[in-house]
Structure formats: C-alpha cells, structure tokens
Structure 1
C-alpha cells in the first residue's frame, strides 16, 4: 500500500469498496493515475487526478453529458472531485490500439464503428462546453514554435507563424457555426472495444475526453485517422474519411478543413511531445514525432494551408523536414 496515494482507503471505504484488491495501471502523459479494483465478482476503475495539477470536474461533466446523449462513456460509481477521486465502470482490457495489434483483421470493422460513433455524436446538439475558438487554435499550434523549434535549434518568425495560422483557419471558423462536441483525443488509445467480434464490430467505449470543446467536426476525425501513436494506412484513412462524409453530408469545404485541422493538430502534437521530453523527462514520445510530422507535411500540401506552408518553407530547413523532425538538440 506504500505506493498508493494518501486517502485511497478512506475514499474506497466511503464508496462501498473497502478491502477491494487494487492494481495500479500504467499512466498517460498527465499527472493522473489509474487503478483497477476487484471485490469478489465486481470490478471498477479508479482515477486519481490530484489537485492542483489535475481537476476531475471536467471529466465528470463530459462523462455525464455523453452518457445522457447516447454515447458510451463509463458510468460514474462514486466521486470526490475536490480530493481528485473518481470511481467508474471498468471497460476492460480491449483498448482499440492493443486489440488491433493482436487482431489486425478487425481493423476495418473497428474503424467503421469509430466513424459511425462520430457521425452519431455530430448529429446531436453540441454540449455545454467552451468554444474551440481562434485563440485556442493559435495557442495550441504555437506549441510548435514554443517547444519544438528551440529544441531543434531553430530561430523562427513566431509572429509570422501566428499570422499564417490565423489566415488559414479563419474560413474554417466561419463554417463552425454552432459546432459539434469535439472530444479532442479521439484515437485508438482512447477507444475501448467492449466485446468485439473477430472483425472488430461491436460496442465502443470512450475515455480521456475531459478536454471536450465545441468546434469543427473534422477535428476528432483527424485525431482518429492521423493517429500519433498508431500507423493508420493511407488507404484506410481515405476510406474512413469518405465514409464520414457520406454519412454526415459534409460539404465541399470539408476536405480543406480536414487538412487545416490535421496540420494544426499535428503541429501542436510535435510541440507537446517535445515538451514531454524536455520538461517532463519522457523521451519515449520523441519516437512518435516522425509519424506526426509526416502527416503534417501531407496536410500542408493542401492549398488550404498555403500561408502556413509558406511559413514552413521560409523557417524550417529542408534537412529538418527531410528527417521528419526526428532529431532534437
């Protein structure tokens, strides 16, 4: 029990789980910690989001909203948000990425189900969340110049970077209108397969959605199909994009907006992964940068990104781009 957080026994006792077996699980890129609980035949998942670094209230708010609107978020069993404790339903071990490593034949079915879930979410009115506005898009993209460029020893035009993004994103913002609920980390590590068949069909559960905003429907599609942690074949990306467009009735501008948000998200991720290495001592995230960079280059090739592409041409040396951003000082 020495490695467990202070207060865990008291919280579990108040939740009716005193004496449960506690198994710590591998963490993510945040300060959150996770534990699997078993008590007889019952099982549950415990999240510890310690203040002041973490606040479980956004997770609770989004989880409850998703459950009330037809999405498969984990049910909340007990909570003490002020102390950082949340006890939820246990979705099991079949995380989409890991399951597909063992069952590659189920790739198409699993991605089809994930696309269909997005279509369903986007048909519903947006949730009561903050807007994905220009300031947020720019703040996120700026992680590239704030973290990656210094780490790569590059002296770049940061003001020009912001201006290029603002020019590229303005048409997209005008099309967001009332927006949709954007989960922001909708990808194979955050989708749980709940009893899938061999072809990947079946119910899917959502996790790690506490940063939800109201924004453009292409964002979560990019998260899924340009996955930083899992190689999504180009053919599958194109097929799933077509499936979404057909089912949702997305307009002619959608392909350009998909590229805009792909480039924006991938620039952000390159910055975040660099920060995780340099600030937080987590160098394993550097291994993902070449995949993210490659996707970003594909997005930058779209005419919708011409201002940002011009900035990259002027500020990021060809040797860095040829190496897909993989070498850092």
Structure 2
C-alpha cells in the first residue's frame, strides 16, 4: 500500500516484524480472537507480500480447523464462510474494475451478520466502511521469510483490541505456551472471554477478565458492585483454591496474571449434566450430593490469594438480592408491555421482597456459588463420587442462604426440570442433610428454598432480556417461557403469597 493510500488514515499505531510464516500464522490466530461482528479488516500489500497466507491462517484459526479449505476468491471476488461464532466473508478485489462494484458484492448486507476480510482494499477506494482495521504487509528486502505488519485505523478502539489480544499471547508465552493455538470458547453471560488453548501436554482454558481500567461502563461497574459480583480475577483464584482444599473438583490454575486479568487453568471438558438437551437424573443426583456435602461444612469469609492478598467473600445482602430481583421490573416488564413499571408498583415490589427475605433471615447461611446449574457442572466420565462433576463459574460466590444454590440446580435455567424430578432431587438433598445432622430443619429450609427460587427466577427473567436488548444476545429470550413456568410453580408456596398477588397484578 503506497503512502498516498494512507491519506485518509492516521499514522500506524503498531508495527511488527515477524521472522517467518509460523509467526505470521500466530499473529493471524491472535487477530482472529479479536474479531467481532461488523468488523472490516483490510489487508494491503504487493503481490507475494503474504496477504492470502495471512487470511487463510486467520480463517482456519477462526474455524478451529487447520485443514479448512480456503480457496482464493480472485475470480468470484467474495467467499463467505458460515461459522457458529459468526460469518466471515473473504473478499479479493484485485480484479475489481470499478470501485462501485463493491456495492454489488453485498458487503453492507454481509456485515449485518458477520465480519469481512478484504484483500486489495484500495481498489474500492473510499467506499469501504469507516472504522475498518487496515493492515499493510510488506517483505523487507534483506530476508525472504520476514514480514512487516503495520496497523492503521481511524477507530481508536482497534488499538486497544489489538493490544489486548497481543497481550494475551504474551501471557501465554510467559506460561511456556508461546506457540499454542487459541480457539474461541463460548462463554457465559458475563463480560469475560474464554479460549481453549491447544498445544503442550494438554488443552487448557484461558479466561480473559476485561474489567481493568475503563473497559467497563461506569453503570455496569456500579451494578456489579451493588450486587457483589467479583471485580477482578483474584476471586477465581481464591474461591477455586478453597473449593479444591475442601475436596471439590475445581480447575487447577496453571498460570495467572491477576493484575492483568489472565487465568490459564485446567480444561475439565464440555460435557455437562445435561445430554441431548435433557437433564440426566443420575448426574443431577451427584450434583445434589455435592451441595449437601458443601452445606455440611464450614466456609471462611476471607481466603488467602497466591499474590499475597486476602480475598473477602461478600455477604449476599438483602439490598443486593432486591436489586437483582428488580432487574425483572427494569427489563422484563418493559420488554413485554412496552412501557416502564410505575413507581408505586416498583416500591411495593421492593417492599414485598424485603419482607420475604426477612421471613427467612434465620435460614442456614454459607457459601453460595450463585450459578450452580448445568452449564457450570462438567461431567467427569470415569471419576468417582463427587469428583464426577467439575465446578466452574464460581467467582461470584457470596455468603447467603444455602438454599439459593439448591434452587439454582433444581430449577435449572438452561433445561426443563419437571416437577417430578424437582421433587425427587429436593427429597434427596433433604435426606442427605438429615443424615449429616439431626438438627436439620426441613420446614425452614423449604421456606428458604421457595424464596430463593423466586428471587433467582425473577432476576434471570430480567437478565435474559437485558442480555438480548443491551448486549445483543437474543438467544437468551428462548429461555423465558421456561423461567415463567418455574415462577408460576414456586409462587404457590405460602411464604410467597403476598408476592404472588403482586405478580398476578403486574406481571405481563
């Protein structure tokens, strides 16, 4: 790309000299991890500079398939690949005769659902989307294997994104996995990112915690603090180490940079306690055993961390529980009715929830992992006892009513739990607790279970709408009918009679 082609862009924000093709493939892998829907990446350079090599490596890394066929679209001009994460379209504009022809190739439509990689972008002149990432590839004259990459964009966010993905590679290098393949791993409903790291003795999972600096909006950060969500990855190290110390299967941490927000840990696989979309009763019974065993032990409110600090486990305050439940009125109600809930109804909602929580104030408290349900309970085939389930996504652990996690499991947000199975698992939990202690109060636990179940379901109805509306994740809306069915089920408990009346009046 000649200098005059850069007149519409600021100066380059990054320049990298790579020694060989293997280094180019690793860079392509890193850029693939940074891509998002609607991105445009423009690749420019002379014939033979390595544009096609880089693009082919990026597409294979994005697909997680080193053997993916990537034909050159020199004659077709565009080739679109459908991936689970999102679609990628590969453009080669070398034979483009007029810049306006780019419109006939449907670039704008393709960017509605995916991202685009464009070779010879200068052929389209200024008809390409603004905010694109431009990469100039050149071959220094003194070495046939070396390549120089220069990065440009008029969108400031690209510099942060590229620096983040290169910093993740630097962390892997420090963990002796410099040449590892990074593959996107579908994460949870949080802002964290996850990757499968292949290479070395075994695969591992890299968690990228983006909450440092100004990367999280102040409103989101304020909400996280108000409901006691973990603010940095020290929580993962602290809670995980304590779970392992108590004999539970949490991922071993191989390496971590707690300040930067990177944790490389054991890969416990992807098989959960659900198979074929349906709960496996045997596996749910093992999960119940884990909860009963956990709730029969004492847990600390402060845990030492490997960096020498002490991690404080927050109490699950009534204020936090009500704030979470209020997501229902803030997001779910307007989603269905098209109008916000009036202030008087909101005030009554909060008052009734405080009253319900006061009614179970003497319920047993302990560690609450908070998302103890099928996506976070990984089945370990061949293991024995409670080791048959690996625990993940426990960083938001708080100290509160232990019935919360039982309700989270027995009314699983991600799969249909029948009333019969719920009752069977409830009885199994109660039986296990009674064997532990003759003082176990089934009636008090049953009340706490009902209140915590209703709170969690109410919260999730709000969260799933928020994920769809605010975070662009509409798939979560498919879970709403299940959660509404669960809500009807639990509101029949006597301890929730006043709240049941409120929902009858104001629930859409």
Q: Which has the higher helix share?
A: 1
SS at structure 1 position matched to 2:475: helix
Structure having the higher Rg: 2
- Give the count of matched residue pairs: 310
Is 1:147 the equivalent of 2:331?
yes
SS at structure 1 position matched to 2:374: coil
User: Match of 1:324?
Assistant: none
Q: 2:417, 2:264 → 1: CA distance?
A: 33
Residue deviations 1:185-221 (CA, integer Å, cap 9, x gap): 0001100111158xx9961100001100111121111
User: Match of 1:327?
Assistant: none
Q: 1:257, 1:201 → 2: CA distance?
A: 25
Residue deviations 1:53-100 (CA, integer Å, cap 9, x gap): 462121222111111111111011100122111000110232223xx2
User: Match of 1:130?
Assistant: 314
Instruction: Using CA pairs under 8 Å that are at least 6 residues apart, name the structure with larger relative contact order, 1 or 2.
Output: 1
Q: Which runs of 5+ in 1 are unaligned?
A: 321-329
Q: Which runs of 5+ in 2 are unaligned?
A: 1-28, 34-164, 217-230, 302-312, 435-439
User: Match of 2:281?
Assistant: 108
Equivalent pair of 1:110/1:201 in contact (CA under 8 Å):
no
Q: 1:188, 1:20 → 2: CA distance?
A: 29
User: Match of 2:472?
Assistant: 281
SS at structure 2 position matched to 1:277: helix
Q: 2:363, 2:266 → 1: CA distance?
A: 37
Residue deviations 1:267-286 (CA, integer Å, cap 9, x gap): 00001011111111111111
Equivalent pair of 1:77/1:88 in contact (CA under 8 Å):
yes
- Aligned pairs (5 A) from 1:153-168: 153=337, 154=339, 155-156=341-342, 157-168=345-356
Is 1:258 the equivalent of 2:258?
no
User: Match of 1:301?
Assistant: 492
User: Match of 1:21?
Assistant: 181
Q: 1:83, 1:95 → 2: CA distance?
A: 30
Residue 22 of structure 1: how far off its partner (Å): 2.1
Equivalent pair of 1:73/1:207 in contact (CA under 8 Å):
yes
Equivalent pair of 1:51/1:83 in contact (CA under 8 Å):
no
Is 1:195 the equivalent of 2:195?
no
Equivalent pair of 2:380/2:388 in contact (CA under 8 Å):
yes
Q: 2:285, 2:253 → 1: CA distance?
A: 27
Is 1:270 the equivalent of 2:450?
no
Residue 255 of structure 1: how far off its partner (Å): 1.6
TM-score normalised by the chain length of structure 2: 0.58
Q: 1:280, 1:241 → 2: CA distance?
A: 35
Residue 114 of structure 1: how far off its partner (Å): 0.4
Decide which moves more: 128-137 or 205-214: 128-137
Q: Which has the higher strand share?
A: 2
Equivalent pair of 1:196/1:202 in contact (CA under 8 Å):
no
TM-score normalised by the chain length of structure 1: 0.89
> What is the RMSD of the two structures over their aligned residues, measured on CA atoms?
2.0
Is 1:62 the equivalent of 2:228?
no
Q: 2:425, 2:285 → 1: CA distance?
A: 7
- Aligned pairs (5 A) from 1:200-215: 203-215=388-400
